[in-house]
Copies of this chain bind each other. A is one copy, B any other.
Amino acid sequence: MVSINVDVKQKYLDQAEMLRKLYDSKGIKVFELLGSPGSGKTALAEAVIDRIKDKYKILYFGGDVASTLDAERVAKHGIEAVEINTGGICHLEPSHVMEALKNVDLSKYDIMFIENVGNLICPINFPLGAHKRILVVSVAEGEDKFVKHPMSTKAADVIVISKVDLADAIGVDVKKMEEDARKLNPKAPIIKVSVKTGEGIDELVKALGL
């Protein structure tokens, strides 16, 4: 991001707090997915949604610079899915979410997933009021991503190491990744996941309290 000044930052934080209050007033739990392009955020949302959709009414918002591909994928699972195009901005801002919410009756839903724009850097600086922020880093991005991105790693509430089925093909030591993440973030659950083998999905559902 281009550096933003303190007042502007505070404005964003205030907006995130407003969103949180709105979610709470409607009794909806909100989970944000963030991480690099193609880290597996949509695939993870799909896998979790399939596990829990009989139990909860679910809403999905997908953020992207362009296209409506993610919302189309998620809608196929029989839930309400809305795409938010930022038109070039590399992260969702609270105002994007507020705008998209204008057409939605939140009280109809128990759970919302907000998938941020694929970007390992900027989204963490623009909270959207979510109850939990889930950082998704795939082994296919290389072993060093937590160390190279300490801000995102530190601020996550849940850390997912995704695509673990590919660890050998990439030549990545998943244990080392886990240790690096743990050093930066002593609190967040760190969950190893593959949507291909199903590994870790139940554990993630549990970590989200669902």
Contact = CB atoms under 8 A, between A and B. Distances in A.
A141 B122 CA distance: 18
A68 B109 CA distance: 45
Contacts of A90: 1, 90, 119, 121-122
A66 interface: yes
A89 B169 CA distance: 31
A110 B103 CA distance: 57
A199 to B, nearest CB: 15
A117 B36 CA distance: 12
A150 interface: yes
A148 B2 contact: no
Copies in the complex: 2
Interface in A84-107: 88-90
Interface residues of A, number: 38
B2 A118 contact: no
Is the contact region of chain A dominated by helix, strand, or loop, or is it mixed? loop
A92 B68 CA distance: 29
Nearest to A38: B141
A89 B1 CA distance: 5
A44 interface: no
A45 B152 CA distance: 26
Nearest to A148: B67
6 closest cross-chain pairs (CB), A and B: A38-B141, A140-B140, A90-B121, A38-B142, A36-B37, A37-B120
Nearest to A168: B169
A4 interface: yes
Interface string A159-174: 0000101100110000
B3 A89 contact: yes
A179 interface: no
